[in-house]
Structure 1
């Protein structure tokens, strides 16, 4: 028979797990870093208690020290676990051959992303090793809401209320522009574009299974290698690859 002390410890352990989850859930594209004080304020917790949790999470690898003094960011273990969980999905098993062919045809970095809790997560990357200059993306990276992959996911998201909540976190002008772009993509398998403002372009297309959108395939390169031309040969290669992978997933969708 369990002693009262055992029950108390069990209750405390459950509370610790719950608070850890609450802290980790605060991070996302719009909050890549935050301090223990900011986490405490958002969660309504004691600052000292929250600091102890953050320190313990750094020690475990779930968090790491951020770039700003006193801040924290998702750690390597958290990214590793997230990428592993996403990597178990069927599309990640089927995608590599399609991605390698696309990468070989275009000579550009090819990226497969799956939807996480608040945005796309990079789950696999194929690179053209013959190029002198190579643009790469780290597996486990969570992409911002303005990324080409995010636009595609939001355009085909079945839970419109969830999409609206995510869009609501953006400034008004950016939200309006993104909403209009999403409307043009909805109901199609057309590609989305996104420049990052630093000379890097991305182009993404949806992959469907029998339930709806399950992933995106994207090309990433410097702006001179990847012009943002929706009617160009590169966009056509990307769209055809996404369609072929959709067929393999049992979710072929006509434009």
Structure 2
């Protein structure tokens, strides 16, 4: 593959530049959540300097971000947002709005539908209660962390447990142990997962199944005084029933322990 630093300049071949950028973006996945420009150059047989320029340009465009380790790059916010819109073509996105509106109206809480991305849940649709003075919400396209209620629901129903172990390996030991205990309790059930952050925001999430496996998570989010983390509460019952109804519409069934 011929290559030179000039390929990355605006005066170079525009179509080739797009193709090279796409090649770099395709390197990312569940097994490669982050990589360096040198690693990308080696895998694609490209010049290292050119590859680094592409990576920094992709960072400027929002398609990549700097990783936690020195010299690494990870998928960027814009890439995740575009991915969420693309994933949104799935059937569950078409069926969910009615169930979400009913759940939002019944509880008065922000209702969130998330689909699994490459390394975690991606917020794909949000329904909000416009009558509330104070509103807790989340933007469509946001990638949620592995300690959120939505992530726990997905992790509990993943078939590939080795993949789950690898993803959780990035968490601190005490946090990882707590998440592992919770997802084991959720596995094989349609129980609700709970989550809270250090800013006083609570969330509870329920799994949505299609004919194959889990396809989405349906969640409620609010401040801790509005949404107590009680699986026996009325809002938890409303959430569970909405998720079960959506699963039925998707042709899914409650999991067997």
When normalised by structure 2's length, the TM-score is 0.81
Structure 1 position 54, deviation (Å): 2.7
Structure 2, gaps ≥5 residues long? 3-12
Residues 136-174 of structure 1: per-residue CA shift (max 9 Å, x gap): 100011100000000000001111111111111212111
Question: Taking structure 1 as reference, are residues 213 and 192 closer, same or farther at Cα in structure 2, changes over 3 Å only?
Answer: same
Q: Which residue of 1 aligns with 2:159?
A: 158
Residues 198-241 of structure 1: per-residue CA shift (max 9 Å, x gap): 11000000000110100000000000110000111111110000
| Inter-partner Cα distance in structure 2 for 1:24 and 1:48 | 23
Structure 1, gaps ≥5 residues long? 32-37
| Inter-partner Cα distance in structure 2 for 1:166 and 1:17 | 25
Q: Which residue of 2 aligns with 1:62?
A: 63
* Structure 1 runs, 4 residues or longer, greater than 2 Å off: 9-28, 38-51, 58-66, 70-77
Question: Taking structure 1 as reference, are residues 26 and 49 closer, same or farther at Cα in structure 2, changes over 3 Å only?
Answer: farther
| Inter-partner Cα distance in structure 2 for 1:252 and 1:54 | 44
The CA RMSD measured in Å over matched residues stands at 3.4
Choose the corresponding residue for 1:19, options 24, 48, 53.
24
Q: What is the SS of the residue equivalent to 2:240?
A: helix
Question: Taking structure 1 as reference, are residues 39 and 212 closer, same or farther at Cα in structure 2, changes over 3 Å only?
Answer: same
Tell me, yes or no, if structure 1 residue 195 matches structure 2 residue 183: no
Tell me, yes or no, if structure 1 residue 234 matches structure 2 residue 235: yes
Q: What is the SS of the residue equivalent to 2:207?
A: strand
Structure 1 position 51, deviation (Å): 3.7
Question: Taking structure 1 as reference, are residues 13 and 235 closer, same or farther at Cα in structure 2, changes over 3 Å only?
Answer: closer
Q: Which residue of 2 aligns with 1:39?
A: 36
User: Which shows bigger deviation, 13-22 or 232-241?
Assistant: 13-22
Q: Which residue of 1 aligns with 2:205?
A: 204
Question: Taking structure 1 as reference, are residues 209 and 23 closer, same or farther at Cα in structure 2, changes over 3 Å only?
Answer: closer
What aligned pairs does 1:70-89 form with structure 2 within 5 A after superposition? 75=76, 77-89=78-90
Q: What is the SS of the residue equivalent to 1:151?
A: helix
Q: Which residue of 2 aligns with 1:104?
A: 105
Question: Taking structure 1 as reference, are residues 182 and 26 closer, same or farther at Cα in structure 2, changes over 3 Å only?
Answer: closer
Structure 1 position 252, deviation (Å): 2.3
Question: Taking structure 1 as reference, are residues 27 and 142 closer, same or farther at Cα in structure 2, changes over 3 Å only?
Answer: farther
Question: Taking structure 1 as reference, are residues 150 and 14 closer, same or farther at Cα in structure 2, changes over 3 Å only?
Answer: same
Q: Which residue of 2 aligns with 1:91?
A: 92
- Kept in 1, the 8 Å contact 2:207–2:243? The answer is yes
Q: What is the SS of the residue equivalent to 1:129?
A: coil
User: Which shows bigger deviation, 10-19 or 102-111?
Assistant: 10-19
When normalised by structure 1's length, the TM-score is 0.81
| Inter-partner Cα distance in structure 1 for 2:53 and 2:29 | 14
Q: Which residue of 2 aligns with 1:53?
A: 54
